[in-house]
Amino acid sequence: MELGEEPTPEVLSAIEEAIRDSQQIVDDAEEEKKKRRGKRVTKSDRKFPEHLPRIEKIVDLPEEMREGLKLIGYDEVETLRWIRPELQVILTKYAKYAHPNDKSQGIVSPQRPTGLVEGNRFDVSIGVEVVAWKYFYHLPFYRQQDMFTGSGWTPSRSTLANIETAVEFALRPLADYLRSLMKQDACLGCDDTSVVLITPACVPDLSNHPRGERIGEVLAEAIAKGKPSIKANFWGYYASRLPVVAFDFTVSRHRDGPDDILSDYEGALVGDCWSGFQKIDVRSDSRITFAACWAHARRKIDECRKTHPRQVAKLESLIRMLYDVEDQIKGLGDEERLSRRQSLSRHVLDQIAAYLDSDAMRFPSVLPKGKFGEAAAYVRRHWEALCRFTEDASIPLDNNDCEQLMKRVATGRKNWLFKGSVAAGERAANLLTIIGSAMRNELDVSAYLDDVLRRVLDGETDWARLTPHAWKAEHPESIREYRSDER
């Protein structure tokens, strides 16, 4: 693309026509949004749900004060009360039979269902709350102890950890299936965040682990240097079209993590301009195309607002126009979206390129080694990747959806603080994959996990039917409508 090139009159005419058409779409969408948000709150909206049980309580005058008076009715006041969750012990008695005349036939008893843990000491509902509290509500085990104690049972933290392990083991194939399903999407967003991993006393047996060599090298080095912990990594993947997310855990921020997960993927990858992403097209033999995130570029520019207010304001106004185009084409088909991007967004990109090449962005106004100079250089250096969204309708303008996804890990990390082993990190990635996908589908996470876990323990292996989006279609009553309304 030539810097500073002026569009022809024909191009400008086409742009104006496309803007008018797109603006009508935006106006219609905004009108619908105002109707939803402006819905008048009536008295009925303030009532508590009808399905909640009612306990009637009559408050009357003392008998001596009622003398000579006639009851004409009641003023009704509804007060919502919280009742602490109740624990129950289910005593299941399995009948035992023996042949009175032939002891060799042994004891005959009904077949027992597969339990979550050995001896079936804990119902699925307990396992569901343990993992939901930890990875949905971000409650570490020591807080979960307090929660359970309030209902009459104080479990040890090791018991809670064992329950989490059992749930993850049962649902691991579902997490693997969601990862494979994610890779069917034409575009994936990827982001990562660090987590503390406690260094083991010795390197565990990793002979059967697919990443054993890399894990062994990192752990051996940490042990040799006497490090009490190392900085491991969680990776998040957000499918552009399919309602699926996935997480992965690695012992370091090394490109072998994404390379391994995406070894059989073909499509676009959106992320920051980390070096491990930039050359992924070469390492994948062009199976994967890298697209840069405009939110990252915008952030670097915005950080220089105080030192270069005029230039930052100009660039941000142009970048905002890119987002305006995205708002206008939301909901359109791929062909129309791509057409609008190539006409509207390309014109805006030409203006950004021209401004980056103008005198306002050169020495002495902008120092090449200054913070703003480096921000501008970042945009120039990754220009091709930043423009890639105009070549593929499935590529978003930024990676914000995936970055929002990673905030769940960051919030959880502030509570459970660290991972005690590689296995614990991998378990967390699997559970986050399932719970994150359920959240993306705006489901009641506990209801979803409870049903799916029971079905898996009963032997069901139709993973396609157990995915959150498939389950959602069969259980509309478990959709969190208020989350849908927020979008």
Q: Which of 445, 436, 464, 306 is nearest to 370 (CA)?
A: 306
Strands 245-250 and 229-239, how do they pair?
A: antiparallel
At 177, the amino acid letter reads: Y
Encode 297-313: b = buried (16+ Cβ within 10 Å), e = exposed: bbebbeebeeebeebbe
Is residue 451 domain-resident?
Answer: yes
The full length of the chain comes to 487
CA atoms within 13 A on the CB side of 208: 1
Residue 456 falls inside a structural domain? yes
Domain-embedded: residue 81:
no
How far from the centroid of its chain's Cα atoms is residue 175's Cα?
14
Between CA 77 and CA 84 the distance in angstroms is 22
Using an 8 Å Cβ cutoff, are 268 and 372 in contact? no
Beta bridge partners of 229: 198
Angle CA 329–331–334, to nearest 5: 75
CA 168-173-175 angle, to 5 degrees, is: 70
**CA separation for the pair 435, 164 (Å, rounded):** 13
SS (H, E, C) the chain: CCCCCCCCHHHHHHHHHHHHHHHHHHHHHHHHHHHHHCCCCCHHHHCCCCCCCCCCCCCCCCHHHHCCCCCCCCCCCCCCCCCCCCCCCCCCCCCCEECCCCHHHCEECCCCCCCCCHHHCCCHHHHHHHHHHHHCCCCCHHHHHHHHHCCCCCCCHHHHHHHHHHHHHHHHHHHHHHHHHHCCCCEEEEEEEEEEEECCCCCCCCCCCCCHHHHHHHHHHHHHCCCCEEEEEEEEEEECCCCCEEEEEECCCCCHHHHHHCCCCCEEEEECCCHHHHCHHHHCCCCEEEEECHHHHHHHHHCCCCCCHHHHHHHHHHHHHHHHHHHHHCCCCHHHHHHHHHHHHHHHHHHHHHHHCCHHHCCCCCCCCCHHHHHHHHHHHCHHHHCHHHCCCCCCCCCHHHHHHHHHHHHHHHHHCEECCHHHHHHHHHHHHHHHHHHHCCECHHHHHHHHHHHHHCCCCCHHHHCHHHHHHHCHHHECHHHHHHC
Assigned token pair, 478: 């478990």
Q: Is the residue at 92 inside a domain? A: no
What's the token pair of residue 176?
A: 């693997």
Q: How many domains does the chain have?
A: 1
pLDDT at 276: 86
CA 406/CA 9 separation, integer angstroms? 45
Domain extent for 274: 166-293+400-486
Burial class (CB in 10 A: 0-12, 13-18, 19+), 176: middle
- Torsion of Cα atoms, 445 then 449 then 451 then 457, to 10°: 180
Check residue 6 and give its pLDDT.
57
Closest by CA to 292, choosing from 397, 413, 392, is: 397
What does pLDDT average to in each consecutive run of 10 residues of the chain (487 residues)? 54 58 60 58 69 94 92 94 93 93 89 90 97 96 96 96 98 98 97 95 92 94 96 96 97 90 96 89 92 96 95 95 95 94 96 94 90 95 96 96 93 89 96 97 97 97 98 96 78
Say how far apart CA 430 and CA 435 lie, in whole Å.
9
Task: Please tell me the distance from the alpha carbon of residue 391 to that of residue 159, in angstroms, as a whole number.
Answer: 52
Considering the domain boundaries, does residue 469 fall inside one?
yes
Quick check: is 44 in a domain? no
Q: Return the closest-CA partner of residue 345 out of 18, 91, 124, 41.
A: 18
Rounded to an integer, what distance in angstroms lies between the CA atom of residue 168 and that of residue 431?
6
Contact criterion met (CB below 8 Å) for 354 and 4: yes
For helices 141-149 and 157-182, the axis angle rounded to 10 degrees is 120
Between CA 222 and CA 231 the distance in angstroms is 10
User: How far is 431 from 437, CA to CA, in rounded Å?
Assistant: 10
Q: Is residue 246 part of a domain?
A: yes
Predicted pLDDT at 47? 86
Return the half-sphere exposure (C-beta side, CA atoms, 13 A cut-off) of residue 399. Answer: 28
Give domain status of residue 154, yes or no: no
Q: Which residues of 363-377 are buried (b: 16+ CB within 10 A; e: fewer)?
A: eeebeeeeebbebbe
| d(C-alpha 215, C-alpha 422), whole Å | 8
